[in-house]
Structures are given as C-alpha cells and as structure tokens.
Homo-oligomer: A and B are copies of this chain.
C-alpha cells in the first residue's frame, strides 16, 4: 500500500515535509478526524472531554465499560490526531479537547453538503 493512510497510523509521524500545503493539511485533518470519529467510544470521549472541560485519564476511563488500557489507547490515538491535548500533572494526565479544530472541520464538511 504505497498510499499511506495517515489517519490510521498510530505512531507519531515524523513530519519531514517542510510545510505541507493547506490542501494537504486539510486532507490529513479529514483523515484524522473521521478516522477518530468512526469509533463510538472515541466519539463519546471527545464529547465527554469537551463538555467537562479538562479530564484526567482516570476520570475518562472510569466512565467507560472497556478496560483502562483500551481507553488509554483511544486517548493516545486522539492525541496523535490532534483532537485532544494532554499535559502531565504529577502522576495524572489531564486531557482537553481541541474543540475549535473539531468544530471547524465538521462545520466545513457539513457546508459541503448544504
């Protein structure tokens, strides 16, 4: 598969491109956002973090049925996709949603179909 779908790649990509064009960034954003939103747990996580403001990993993990490591992986993916931001505070990690970005991309795509 020469056409590498960035959306599904988990590892942090070492962006070698000097400065991707806006079009390219838009494609990557759509890839990332829609790959992330494809999973119901990740949609819930994003909504949950957005509405509560900041959340620790534990608060998020306890709210879901699936195991903590599974939630942790969803969180990691959302961070890689730039939809969540994380900061370490002592031994907890605090997540917050990049709501502006999410809202803008969704809004743009909804506009395409109006």
Please list the residues of chain A having a beta carbon within 8 angstroms of any beta carbon in chain B: 5, 7, 27, 30-31, 34-35, 37-38, 40, 43, 46-47, 50, 97, 99-100, 102-104, 106-107, 109-114
Contacting pair B30 A34 (CB below 8 A): no
Contacting pair B35 A31 (CB below 8 A): no
A-B contact pairs, 14 of them (CB 8 A): A5-B40, A30-B40, A30-B43, A34-B34, A37-B37, A50-B112, A102-B110, A102-B113, A103-B111, A104-B110, A106-B106, A107-B107, A107-B114, A109-B110
Most buried by B among A34, A46, A47, A97: A34
Partner of A112, one of B31, B47, B109, B111: B47
Residue of B nearest to A27 (CB): B40
Q: Within the complex, what minimum Cβ distance (angstroms) separates A109 from chain B? A: 5
Measured between beta carbons, the chain B residues less than 8 angstroms from A97 are 113
Q: Within the complex, what minimum Cβ distance (angstroms) separates A101 from chain B? A: 9
